[in-house]
Chain A
Amino acid sequence: MRRTVVTGLGVVSPFGAGVKAYWTGLAAGACAIRPLTLFETNGFRCGLAGEVPEAAGGSLRRTRADRLALAAAGEALDDAGLERGERSAAALVVGAVGGGMFEAEAWYWARARGERVPGGVGALRTMLPGSHAAALGHRLRLEGPRHTVVTACSSGAVAVAEAADLVAAGVVDVALAGGVDALTRMCFMGFNALKLLDPEPCRPFDRDRRGMSIGEGAAFLVVEAAEHAQARGARIYAELGGHGATTDAFHVTAPQPDGEGMARAMLAALAAAGLPPAAVGYVNAHGTATPQNDRIEAQAISRVFREDRVLVSSTKSMIGHAMAASGSLEAVATVLALAHDLLPPTASLVTPDPEVRFDCLPGVAREAAVECAISNSFGFGGQNVTLLFQRV
């Protein structure tokens, strides 16, 4: 199997378009969780979200999610400096959940009121998660292997893992992978129905946390064979040393109470990289800020790593939980943390939960030159993924 490295990054986040805006926000510990403007939230427990300030340009004939994806994917390809021929052979793996549901909802709401909506049929065409890969593949002229993975909130991370497998196995030299999700009424209503949203910006690992904040965005990474990247003189951000994917097979929404599935994913990533737990200096946690999930994730991290050796933070505290995009947004944050020797903080963490015995980097980013870091992503259905990145 071949070594895989990251050579391109692209992001659209609640901080705005571009990797620079994203990293500036994370490094500053800024919170981009604000009152939601995209649709009405009257009557809901929570009216906040990590909303992208503007949908990153692009034709309004495209769905909001496609516009986010195209902007982030285009930035990643440009950042990698790939020639057109190298691009066309690249694989494309997209992690998605909501598809173009934001537009499809508008059509369905209007249909229920007996109204006709111009372009309604178009909304139906683009509502499935697989629609993003079709749009990206066509617009960016990618003709390698292409597929869309749906593993709920770990979709973006799974897409990166899938791309790494294709590169490592020699199917392609280059792959573009990431996740995308736009805010939708369905998602917002669903998490309200589950009573999982904090009325204030979320506070991962805080004793007084009350739930998550929903977000949106897109993040893509160019994953490349190390020898291919070196041969063309590409800038290498980090090595994707390994990944692990497991399933709890326990409950449709709740994680396994002892975190065994999560721990297995972390251990599998370490095994794939051939590294001991002590090699890891930073964990970008899934850290949703629900009372149950944070406690179980902390327990799982404790099963794998020594509490005094590893630093942990949740970047969801700054941008919210961007669903299918969260795994790839956090992968980019982890890669940038290695590249900048700076670990992003857990914003809004004031009173650490005594059950969470890690230093969760409250409020302020910390300078630290770690050699190896992991990014955890967990989804409904107990779909656990850990990505492990190493400094090069």
Chain B
Amino acid sequence: MTERRSVVITGVGVVNAAIVGASPALGAWLARPRPAPRTSSPVPAMRLPDATLAALVDGGEARRLSRVCQLTIAAARLAVGEAGLDPRGDPEQGLGLIVGTELGDFTSTIAFADGYLARGLAGLSPLLFPNTVMNTMAATTAIAVQTRELSLTLNVPTVAGELAVARGAAAVASGQVSAVLAGGVDELDPLVGEMLEVLGDRDVRGEGATFLVLEDESAARRRGATVLGRIGGMAWRSLPARPWGVGRQARSQAVAEAIERAGGRRPEWIYASASGDAERDAWETRVLAAALGPASLPTVSLAPRLGQHAGLGALRVAAATWTARSGLLPDDAGGEPTRVSGPGLVHGLGRGGNHVALVIG
């Protein structure tokens, strides 16, 4: 990609079962990454308490908006607030929005169908219907935050959050937008959990939203924004695999391209997308070895601590900027962090072959 602009992160917003806040809250948790509380029904998962979410949105939003939209808006506001942007007050602050999600607003979709099944035509809710379209989180967040430029919702398995950040970074790098709010969100309600169980889903599941404000570095510095980190390079490709399947091929261009765009320096540590799905995780290990050589680099996933959801992919990018600043890579098992230096890689590989790489630092 003919990138000319340096892409920096100026705001972070995280809302999940273990972390609620901007980059200081994330940093505090990463320094001692305690696992999010797990619920056991219907599947083991890490679910944000409703009371925590209620404290993050106003009463009107809580009544009007679905839970996953509330998660998205809460995290987006935290990120925009930390970045010091005010698109509501200044419409000239053009801001794009890219939302990655695996499941969308499934809860509302089911509720809409249930209305019909219970009461026939009279049970159809015109208020719920728009939520059955997966861009409902982007639509409501655009209104809440006043993002008026490019707006995308990306739906892929496992790596939706990483992909949203990579696509957002590409939009800033190419000059398509000067700033973009990019991240991921998923919720896990009981029926979704039941369906995932029926599907034989092997991930350790969680829920939440993480959004990042990505900006053209020169514009960010002009307005005096604090730079939290830099996305040096990003690329996404696909590897051969059946839908929902795990492939055999380990060779991929994505990592090499991201490194090349970042100036060619080899990453020294990795945030990987290992999610407890043994087959997929083993494939990712092979892909990383093919891309970076057999010597294993310090690697962390955070999925055992927070559970797999699209927000986690974006959270890993934010966490990687913390690691680049602090020189500390957290431990998935809760042990002492590893001291690291140099650039890092955020790596995502989903069932079906979606492959994303971002170089941080």
Q: Which residues of A contact B (CB under 8 A)?
A: 1, 43-44, 92, 96-97, 105, 108-109, 112, 120-121, 124-126, 128-131, 133-135, 137-138, 141-152, 158, 162, 165, 169-171, 186, 189-195, 245-253, 261, 379-383
Contacts and interface: CB of A to CB of B under 8 A. Distances in A.
B124 A192 contact: yes
B238 A145 contact: yes
A385 B103 CA distance: 24
Interface in B106-124: 109-110, 112-114, 116-117, 120-121, 124
B143 A97 contact: no
Interface of B: 1-3, 97, 102-104, 109-110, 112-114, 116-117, 120-121, 124-126, 129-130, 132-136, 138-140, 142-143, 145-157, 163, 167, 170, 174, 176, 195, 198-200, 235-244, 352-354
9 contacts: A126-B243, A133-B156, A143-B240, A152-B133, A169-B1, A169-B2, A247-B97, A249-B143, A252-B139
Contacts of B243: 125-126, 131, 134-135, 138
Nearest to B156: A130
A147 B354 contact: yes
Given A138-B240, A193-B124, A149 B136 contact: no
B117 A112 contact: yes
Nearest to B145: A249
Contacts of B143: 249-252
A252 B136 contact: yes
B155 A249 contact: no
A92 B238 contact: yes
B135 A150 contact: yes
Most buried by A among B113, B125, B134: B134
A124 B199 contact: yes
Q: Considering the complex of A and B, which 3 residue pairs feature the smallest CB-CB distances, nearest first?
A: A381-B139, A190-B129, A134-B243
Nearest to B236: A145
A383 B133 CA distance: 13
Nearest to B91: A249
A111 to B, nearest CB: 10
A169 B170 contact: yes
Nearest to A42: B121
B150 A186 contact: no
Contact of A147 (B1, B126, B135, B167): B167
Contacts of A382: 139, 142
B121 A128 contact: no
B97 to A, nearest CB: 7
A256 B198 CA distance: 42
Given A148-B155, A192-B124, A252-B143, A134 B198 contact: no
Given A129-B155, A247-B142, A171 B244 contact: no
A103 to B, nearest CB: 14
Given A129-B155, A247-B97, A252-B139, A186 B113 contact: yes
B151 A151 contact: yes
A108 B139 contact: no
A125 B196 CA distance: 9
A137 to B, nearest CB: 5
A335 to B, nearest CB: 23
A190 B282 CA distance: 43
Given A124-B195, A381-B138, 15 more contacts: A92-B238, A125-B243, A130-B156, A137-B238, A143-B238, A143-B240, A145-B237, A146-B236, A146-B238, A149-B152, A149-B154, A171-B1, A190-B132, A246-B150, A261-B148
A105 B155 contact: no
B133 to A, nearest CB: 5
Contact of A194 (B103, B117, B129, B167): B129
Contacts of B130: 252-253, 380-381
A192 B140 CA distance: 22
**Chain B CB within 10 Å — which of A137, A147, A261 has the most?**
A147
A186 B199 contact: no
Contact of A150 (B134, B146, B157): B134
Interface centre among A142, A145, A149, A250 (most CB of B within 10 A): A145
